[in-house]
Chain A
Amino acid sequence: MSERSQTETLPVLVLAGGTVLDATGQRRADVLVRDGRVVEVAPTIDPPAGATVLDAGGALVGPGFVDLHAHLREPGGEEAETVETGARAGALGGYTALVAMPNTFPPIDSVEMVRAVRHLARGACTEVAVAATITEGRRGERLAPLAELAAAGVRVVTDDGAGVADAQLARRAFEYAAPFGLVVAEHCEDPALAAGGVAHEGEWSSLLGLAGIPAEAEEVMLARDLALAGRSGARFHALHVSTAGSLALLREARRRGVAVTAEVTPHHLALTDAAIAGFDPVYRVNPPLRPEADRRALVAAVAAGEVDAVATDHAPHARHAKEAPFAEAPPGMIGLETAFGVARGALAELPLDVLWGLLSWKPAAIAGLEARHGGPVAPGRPANLCVVDPEARWRVDPAAGASRSANTPYAGWELVGRARHTVLAGEVVVRDGEAQR
């Protein structure tokens, strides 16, 4: 599509009757969108002839959400998810951009692979920022071509699914990545301490006879990476932080001036390891669900501003893969469509604009997407917006989701808060909770 024809087909939109929310605050305002950009924000806007009016009454209108951590499974895992279906699930959750994790088959470890996945994302319901691996083939042996990847526009590199086990290689990755502005995102889990583990090592794994993953598996590698990243000057992002000990390590590192950001997932904020008592593999996830004390520590850390993003770790798995013994089922749960409602419920005391920041402008800045996503709702800005009804009550029906997979731990939950409309680059991709493409 040429620039011209795209412009011709872009609609004029009025998001009417809502409260605009962004990093600058909240105000009652309508929003006029034309040619893919916000052109006016005012208390009342008369819809121009031919404009599409989106009802934002009783809802919040803000920059679209940005997920730092989505497994879209393509290529290689298309039975579980595709870029198209994952992005659709994201748009239904209010997201306008997803960082696609590179642990695909084959892994995204080259410029060619990055381009191939970007190609898959054309026409998708969200922007897809493709992350690449830190190491070639995600094997943890040699660095991937980080300079080339950075030059091709990659911003986040990660071997997610595993950390870089070799400390020397991790050190070199931080050092080598630093001048390119790459964010080195680590799945902190010491493979020897976690070996064979399928659940948090604690009272529940003990009673259930499940091999444990101790909190120290996360903390040992996080401590190592904080030391290495601090020395290199690289930008280090800690993926899915899940223990109180990790939070203490982050606090201490920040006092030393280490450039670190950290995300938490909605499921670690909302669930505990008690959920595994019935051996349902839907609750198997990495890092594992932790005890209540850790969950409370995460909630408190979010409230204290010590967490930089809420990220889903959306990890779809085909039904049959999860219908295996608990210890043999692949770890992971989906979360794009439920993220806002689950996080809102778990962080009930948190002001909504703070939560929105953790879902939108803060992760946008980490992922280098701030030019298009997460910015203020203001004239001239790209129209990547979502309209969220913070009081909408809805029941999670796994079968009704847009993801190709249904491995949600929230089946049957009544959530409060749901995206009503999502606007991507000036086009309506979700309207009244229905995907438009």
Chain B
Amino acid sequence: MSAPDLAQSAPDRPLGASARRPSAPDRPTTVPDGGSDVGGRPRHLLSVAALSRGRLEELLALTEVFVEVAGRDIPRVPALRGRTVALCFFEDSTRTRLSFELAAKRLSADVVSFAAASSSLNKGESLRDTVETIDAMGVDLMVVRHRASGVPAQVSRWVRAGVVNAGDGWHEHPTQALLDCFTVRRALAARGRVQPGLEGLRIGIVGDVEHSRVARSDVAAFATLGAEVVVVSPPTLRPSSVGRWPARFTSALDPELPELDALYVLRLQRERMGSHVLPGLREYRACYGVDARRAAMLPPHAVVLHPGPMNRGVEIDAEVADSPRSLVLEQVASGVPARMAVLSWLAGGEHHRLTPSPVDAEAESGLGAGGGRSGV
């Protein structure tokens, strides 16, 4: 027996050992890069787990370019002029949607936006019908956010457009990982601690890992870039099988703190409190809340990150969130350049198009005060 994408009973390979084997020895790819164009550039960004170190480094370098662009008088380049980016947010999100919208506009793309609440999904239309309809209008990139894991990968099989995963269920949030890597690398470089990649760093991630798309993307990205990743969570919020995660898992935070270069604090959803998985707020805070006492246990150079929005007083205290260690605002600022990097990388952002053209300068000045110059 033989089949296109499912291994079957070839004598040397057990039937069902199956489907899309991991491309790296013990790291599966969610979808094998979603196909490449002739130049070898991927058409989709669906998961960080599927990215090689080379690709991640490429995106980080491109992010650096767009940070420079953001500092210009006119922070706009013609990289995606004539291209259309559709923001398909099936799940509410303010900051990610705004960040992608700004990124697309600064690349001179036309931007159309779709929010589930106002869509025909309420009229019974299927997910496939909805995305095929948008695709048929001739968009080049679809930025997809959905409450369910895997939707961007599914959409990528139905549409001609390139697909960017803007967060799917508990699965992945690749652009968050990119901006986090960029931010932490930059901050630690400024503290004299890094290069190349994240080689030799130890990064801790604390919180509700099981239900976190940020954790899945960030663990993959940090590890791919050479960091040693330690995941800290209550046993009930740890994924049940972690054999394929490139990280070490523990449930005790304090012993890890003195060895960390960066501590990534995950948001704790309120609905986890007092459920089967957690006794209550006070106990979580006592065991995992990052307060001044715990921050003081970190090495002096160590930084603290959070994907936002923060539950101050739950997973992180104000003294830490607002301290010089905190990179929370830098993370947000990196979001737009990181997403510019992804959009231009996927939709043909040739580097010669990164210089502002006279037309753009004109258009930008026409926008007046609403244009915005720095990275949010």
Contacts and interface: CB of A to CB of B under 8 A. Distances in A.
Nearest to A393: B1
A348 B244 CA distance: 30
Contacts of A346: 9, 15-16
B202 interface: no
B4 interface: yes
A326 B154 contact: yes
Interface residues of B, number: 47
Given A209-B216, A323-B128, A345-B8, A412 B3 contact: yes
Given A208-B150, A209-B172, A325-B127, A296 B14 contact: yes
A304 B150 CA distance: 39
Interface string A270-301: 11101111111100000000001001100000
Interface stretch (A131-139, A198-206, A382-390): A198-206
B149 A272 contact: no
B170 interface: yes
B245 A206 contact: yes
Interface stretch (A73-81, A228-236, A306-314, A413-421): A413-421
Contacts of B242: 203, 206
Nearest to B211: A209
A345 B169 CA distance: 36
Contacts of A415: 1
Interface residues of A, number: 45
Interface string B337-376: 0000000000000000000000000000000000000000
Interface stretch (B18-26, B65-73, B75-83): B18-26
Contact of A277 (B30, B170, B241): B30
Interface in A312-353: 320, 323-328, 345-346, 348
B171 interface: yes
Contact of B171 (A202, A208, A320): A208
Nearest to A320: B126
B170 A295 contact: no
B219 to A, nearest CB: 10
Given A277-B20, A320-B126, A327 B149 contact: yes
Given A207-B245, A323-B128, A274 B21 contact: yes
B239 A413 contact: no
Given A277-B30, A278-B30, A272 B17 contact: yes
B240 to A, nearest CB: 5
Contacts of A271: 6, 16, 18-19
Contacts of A101: none
B97 interface: no
A357 interface: no
A416 B8 CA distance: 12
B149 A413 contact: no
B218 to A, nearest CB: 13
B2 A414 contact: yes
B153 interface: yes
Contacts of A280: 154, 157
**In the A-B complex, the 5 residue pairs with the closest CB atoms:** A279-B150, A209-B170, A325-B148, A209-B171, A206-B239
Given A206-B244, A279-B149, 11 more contacts: A201-B241, A206-B245, A207-B239, A212-B240, A274-B20, A275-B6, A278-B153, A280-B157, A296-B14, A320-B126, A416-B1
27 contacts: A202-B240, A203-B241, A203-B244, A206-B240, A207-B28, A208-B150, A209-B149, A209-B168, A271-B19, A272-B17, A272-B19, A275-B19, A277-B20, A277-B31, A280-B154, A280-B157, A292-B14, A320-B126, A323-B126, A325-B151, A326-B150, A328-B148, A348-B9, A412-B5, A413-B1, A413-B8, A416-B1
Interface of B: 1-6, 8-9, 14-21, 28-31, 49, 126-129, 146, 148-151, 153-154, 157, 168-172, 213, 216, 239-245
